[in-house]
């Protein structure tokens, strides 16, 4: 299902729509929730396209990005900053089988790929991941002493890393918990899932 969701997100970006109405509703709801949950479990910081949920001392200087993702259409690369490690929990061109945010923050899942300076990674479009809720992410950040990024409206990995750098957020580890499929990958995956089901229906009707 994450692959299909990524396909929808990618097509929205292609069309330049990016779900502005939905994003506005999500942002409005988040603004109310930020006030309610600040200083309860964690301290959410509101940036233009995402929330940075900070909790505790974060000794690892680690942040987890939870999002619905798809590889950018143009082959734009994101440079990894010095002293930064960017980790992915799914291989290239694959959908992310979400184990739950606490499995990522609690180090119960092993990263599949890791990149550091001077490497470059493919840029990804990122959008709000529907299972995420601010109260749950605030609690998880506090429990595991790790910062978490929650997407408010369509953005990109490049934009997030650049925004963090510009605001002096000098993390050592950025964990990417999102799909890495391309729009073509997710379309082919969807066809692969649907076609056998249709064949079975046709066979049963013969």
pLDDT digits (tens, 9 = 90+) for 16-32: 434 444 444 444 555 55
Output the pLDDT for position 156: 96
pLDDT digits 0-9 by tens, 153-181:
999 999 999 999 999 999 999 999 999 98
* Entry pTM: 0.74
List the end-to-end C-alpha distance of the chain, in Å, as a whole number.
Answer: 30
Q: How far apart are CA 104 and CA 130, in angstroms?
A: 17
The CB density around residue 42, as the number of other CB atoms within 10 Å, is: 24
Q: How far apart are CA 108 and CA 13, in angstroms?
A: 33
Pairing state of beta strands 85-88 and 62-66?
unpaired
Comparison of pLDDT for 6 and 121, the residue scoring more: 121
Output the pLDDT for position 33: 52
Pairing state of beta strands 147-151 and 62-66?
parallel
Output the pLDDT for position 82: 94
Output the pLDDT for position 184: 61
Output the pLDDT for position 92: 85
Output the pLDDT for position 131: 93
- How do the domains of the chain map onto residue ranges? 2-185
Q: How far apart are CA 172 and CA 37, in angstroms?
A: 26
Residue 182, pLDDT > 70, answer yes
DSSP alpha helices (H): ranges in the chain?
2-15, 20-37, 101-105, 134-144, 157-166, 183-205
Residue 193 — pLDDT band, cuts 50, 70, 90?
very low
pLDDT digits 0-9 by tens, 69-84:
999 887 789 999 999 9
pLDDT digits 0-9 by tens, 134-152:
999 999 999 999 999 999 9
Residue 56 — pLDDT band, cuts 50, 70, 90?
confident
Beta bridge partners of 150: 51, 66
Buried b (16+ CB within 10 A) or exposed e, 106-138: eeeeebeeebeeeeebbbbbbbbbeebebebbb
């Amino acid at each position: 299902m994450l692959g299909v969701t990524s396909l929808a997100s990618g097509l929205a970006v292609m069309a330049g729509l990016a779900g502005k109405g939905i994003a506005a509703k999500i942002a409005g709801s988040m603004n109310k929730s930020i006030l309610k949950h600040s200083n309860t479990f964690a301290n959410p910081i509101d940036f233009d396209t995402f929330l940075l949920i900070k909790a505790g001392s974060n000794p690892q200087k680690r942040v987890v990005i939870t999002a619905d993702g798809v590889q950018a259409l143009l082959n734009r690369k994101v440079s990894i900053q010095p002293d930064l490690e960017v980790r992915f929990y799914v291989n290239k061109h694959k959908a992310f089988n979400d184990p739950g945010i606490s499995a990522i923050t609690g180090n119960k899942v092993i990263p599949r790929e890791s990149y550091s300076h001077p490497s470059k990674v493919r840029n990804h479009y990122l959008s709000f991941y529907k299972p995420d809720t601010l109260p749950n992410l605030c609690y998880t950040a506090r429990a595991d002493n790790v910062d978490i990024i929650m997407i408010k409206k369509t953005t990109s990995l490049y934009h997030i890393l650049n925004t963090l750098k510009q605001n002096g957020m000098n993390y050592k580890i950025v964990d990417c918990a999102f799909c890495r499929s391309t729009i073509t990958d997710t379309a082919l995956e969807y066809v692969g899932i649907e076609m056998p089901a249709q064949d079975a229906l046709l066979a049963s009707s013969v």
